[in-house]
Structure 1
């Protein structure tokens, strides 16, 4: 490194420039040579081979044409790798969007999907630049597992028609109606499609077990296509259903927007943005775990946003980071974002050169691929482990999220799951808060006063038995928030004779919310009406600020303070307590 480079100031780690510097720039700063380029070429080609059938299959399952999936993988994949905050992220259309995209097209048409994708991209850009990306990680694990398992079930059912070669009209989006339509179409079963599906499934799973480094998806597609062409099998192909794939990418154009149209698709846009944010950051976390690197979450979300805007402009599908393709990229020897950029370039070369060959691809083999993807998404072993080993609350959250995703709506499933998890968390936090009764200084560890109002020996606590009968001391442990504030009032209401002074030790309280402050104010006012004082000890600066903000320091509700309980008890004889 030159002296001038050493003298050049580098952005602070928390500066805007550093937080939103793409990992591609970071990677190139480290130095890039021919050896790393060769490794990235191999990784990019490997990922492109995996992404090729997936992009087409996901687009078809979403209710649109296969070229939409390919062009999304090219444009969005390039933007995500070039401008993202994860070094190894591979972006494109993913199976998680199938349910949302299918429903959006069914409700608002394809133009509505384009508008929803554009708005979702803008939402992701705003979330990233406002540095709100870290909050996405607060979506609970049972919720994530629940809706991904629900999506997996829905995807599998949507592929049954192509797996068995059933002749059906456009399947309805509602799950039960879809199952009924498939059941009614069973007499149209095509034995050639069943054979292709079964052989493709066996081949892919066999290669995954015995030759895991071989591109099982592409091998299955090629062999099934060759068999269909050579033996003239009577099965539905991309050519017979969609007329093939155009070689020339579409010209970017801005979709027509109207206030009514934006309002109509806004819920779907929010769902797309949430899914894109969750899946991209989950994929980035997986990549970090595999490589020991660290991603920039807000930079990644900004790139995801621009990728979805770019996809909307070329009439593509929603895009996000793909966990399986990202893992394949890492295992194939990628050294950085260049491999992701090259994966998009290789896909573009395929479209320009070999697009006519896609006409021979039977839909049965693509359905087999998506059936495997759906099984992987469902994570049956993880769901079973959570149902076996988790508490009842997490079981309810997981089950409710999964069932609502399958039978009602993905967005509602996520919302209900998050709300249930929040209620469960608040219940656990409230249970963790303790109000302990203490004796005089030197005998502070006293009995726990909670639901049973008993001391360590199981006997009811009687404050009058303390050595200092005019003083009662309580120690509050845990966050004093609305879920636990009532415990203090309940405990104090059981005191027989009111003391002259009530000492409340806040040394183990990390925070106080509005309800906690209001409860404390009520306690102070009640004690003062009875001619008694309230002494607060051990308050941290944040707790003190919260209490002052909510009016504890006002003259009519002033309290006495001391650093510790011991000092408070010692100063009572000298009346040296400070008033607030």
Structure 2
């Protein structure tokens, strides 16, 4: 007996099985170059959005992307920093600093590895679509709000954690807006919107940043100041402070040796792990949902089939190892993965090549990044937030979806914006589950069958009642359905219950049915159960309800139920006549 394969390297096994050719290599090279160019500005912008220096976003791509591509389960997923994590990671950075963020990412990686090894990949399919759409739209709103500071060059008095307080601070800071930042942001947004219509083969992100940088240099030459990446961020080399990002590779460092929010080394303690465990679980769940949704989209575009458990293990390994080299949280992104497919990717090698492009950019182009206007990067993230929010799709869903799904969507959206995604997803899942239980319980009913319903019921004595239960008998419907069986007068001697249309019973239903039997025994009323599936029959037998004792019987059809009821009534009639 052979041991099952561990859920790892599944994407490469699929690639080798499909056959690798020189044509596939050319496709991977083209896709890797294309996606790498897209990833560079996005990685830096997203790192800034979560409160760390831009190079940490590049380090994430450099380490996590090839590791996930090597060990994961999707041939076409491209991983790196994603906008979905901003609302979770920013509060962690503000409270625990860079070291806390990296340590939390490692914990999330361990959780995802455990999920993959536990074959939990398919469980993500049980997250309702309104929950996913609601929190992604809410995340888009939060990200867009956070970009207003750099879009207008505002000087904020504080950095509050909660959304309403953030909006209040932004409104109070509006008088500090700078013309240069606003002009560059407007020009960059215009390019991001119009460029794909004019030159769809060239990434609009690159064009927008190039135009924004040239415009920023021109404005500074005219004496109009604006914030740039080099002014905002710097690094130290041999005791000398340099503007921008370092043009060298990251060193291996344990996260707890990095500074916390107060500037002191973070340290490692049980209390710290306890505080980070909840956000780590949220990161793991969101990373799993994002990556697997991305893999499903890629499968739809290519006709391939990903391994969800291997993808979770790959994502977990990437998030476990990358923080040791300065990488923040990574997951697959639909935008990058879709661009990867459209550019001709065939295997995970494309994602590895895209990381190589980022490596070249770090080593050769790092000094040029200092000239990037912060307003242009904010415009880039604003467009990402708009695409992520799927505003048109949300409005369409609100028009056509059932009211219960609309309630779930709006609840998740509002809670994500006003509080956090962890609460939103938790409440959304509970609400969706409760509404589903309500809908399922509405499908279950117990009805009295009239004598003309079936030939076997004709001429039955009045002492016999016949019911039919239709629908699943579970905790949400059992008591309502079975309570009907107790509503009869003292003249009734036998109750026939047709349960052939009951597809399942849970323990609550079995307990409720057992209570009905006890009441019948006290009142000397016989019960005949008619028909059921093999699964239901097994549950009844294990619960001891199928045993024939006294006035309890199980029969296959209504003809047998009629005969059994009459056989029970004959001794009672004979006794009455005597």
**TM-score, normalization by structure 1:** 0.89
CA positional deviation for 1:170 = 5.0
Q: Which residue of 2 aligns with 1:524?
A: 517
Deviations 1:217-257 (A, max 9, x none): 01111222233335535211111110211122222233333
Cα drift, residue 389 of structure 1: 1.7
Find the counterpart in structure 1 of residue 478 from structure 2.
485
Aligned twin of 2:345: 334
- How big is each residue's C-alpha offset from its partner over 1:69-118, in whole Å with a ceiling of 9 and x where there is no partner? 11111211112222111111011110000111101111222221112111
Q: For residue 36 of structure 2, what is the aligned residue in structure 1?
A: 48
What SS does the corresponding residue of 2:154 show, helix, strand or coil?
A: coil
1:498-545: CA deviation from partner (whole Å, max 9, x where unpaired): 532222222222211111111111111111211122222222232233
The TM-score, its normalising length taken from structure 2, stands at: 0.89
Summarize the alignment of residues 456-535 of structure 1 with structure 2, pairs less than 5 Å apart.
Answer: 467-496=460-489, 499-535=492-528
Aligned residue number for residue 129 of structure 1 = 117
1:334-413 counterparts in 2 under 5 A?
334-413=345-424
Q: 1:506 to 1:101 in 2, by over 3 A?
A: same
State which of 179, 188, 212 in structure 1 corresponds to 2:167.
179
Map of 2:436 onto structure 1? 425
Alignment of 1:257-336 (within 5 A): 257-336=268-347
CA drift at 1:570: 4.1
Asked if the contact 2:7–2:117 (Cα under 8 Å) also holds between the matched residues in 1, the reply is no
Aligned length: 545
* Per-residue deviation, 1:145: 1.0
Query: 3-state DSSP class of the match of 2:69?
Result: helix
Looking at structure 2, the residues matched to 87 and 372 of structure 1 have their Cα atoms a distance apart, in angstroms, of 27
Match of residue 218, structure 1, among 206, 209, 218? 206
Cα distance, 1:554 vs. partner? 7.2
Moved more, 61-70 or 75-84: 75-84
In structure 1, the partner of 2:93 is: 105
CA contact (8 A) 1:68 1:315 kept: yes
Corresponding position of 1:249 = 249
SS in 1 for 2:130: helix
**Match of residue 4 from structure 2:** 16
Query: For residues 566 and 104 of structure 1, do their structure 2 counterparts lie closer, same or farther at Cα, with a shift above 3 Å needed?
Result: farther
User: How far apart are residue 346 of structure 1 and its match?
Assistant: 1.2
Distance 1:309 1:533, change over 3 A: same
Does the CA contact (< 8 Å) of 1:79 and 1:306 recur in 2?
Answer: yes
Matches within 5 A, 1:160-199: 160-169=148-157, 171-199=159-187
Separation in 2 of the partners of 1:469 and 1:292?
63
Using a 3 Å threshold, how does the CA distance of structure 1 residues 189 and 492 change in structure 2: closer, same or farther?
same
Distance 1:73 1:115 in 2: 18
More deviation, 312-321/260-269: 312-321
How do 1:60-209 and structure 2 match up within 5 A?
A: 60-169=48-157, 171-209=159-197
Structure 1 residues 83 and 416: alpha-carbon distance in aligned structure 2, compared to 1, 3 A threshold: same
Structure 2 unmatched ranges of 5 or more: 235-243, 257-267, 569-578
For the residues of structure 2 that align with 1:153 and 1:16, how far apart are their CA atoms?
Answer: 44
Contact 1:525 1:557 in 2 (8 A): no
Gap change, CA 1:466 and 1:173, over 3 Å in 2 = farther
* Structure 1 position 175, deviation (Å): 0.7
8 Å contact kept, 1:437–1:475: yes
Q: Which runs of 5+ in 1 are unaligned?
A: 1-8, 446-462, 576-580
Greater relative CO (CA pairs within 8 A, separation 6+): 2
2:252 alignment partner, SS class: coil
RMSD (Å) for aligned C-alpha atoms: 2.3
Displacement of 1:25:
2.5
| SS at 1:16 equivalent | coil
1:47-83 deviation line (CA, Å, top 9, x unaligned): 1111111111111011111001111112111122221
Whether 2:534 is the aligned partner of 1:538: answer no
State the alpha-carbon separation in 2 of the partners of residues 242 and 569 from structure 1.
86
- State the Cα deviation string for residues 172-200 of structure 1 (Å, max 9, x = none): 22111111111111111111111111111
CA distance in 2, matches of 1:170, 1:137: 40
Q: Which residue is equivalent to 1:578?
A: none
Q: Distance in 1 between matches of 2:433 and 2:490?
A: 39
Aligned residue in 1 for 2:447: 436
CA distance in 2, matches of 1:30, 1:389: 41
Q: Distance in 1 between matches of 2:558 and 2:94?
A: 66
Distance 1:46 1:242 in 2: 27
Which residue is equivalent to 2:556? 563
Tell me how far apart the structure 1 counterparts of residues 358 and 157 of structure 2 sit (CA, whole Å).
Answer: 32
Kept after mapping to 1: 8 A contact 2:464/2:565: no
Q: Structure 1 pair 478/574, CA: closer, same or farther in 2 (3 Å)?
A: same
SS at match of 2:529: strand
**Shift of residue 495 of structure 1?**
3.0
**Distance change (3 Å), C-alpha of 1:115 and 1:540:** same
User: How far, CA to CA, are the matches of 1:569 and 1:340 in structure 2?
Assistant: 70
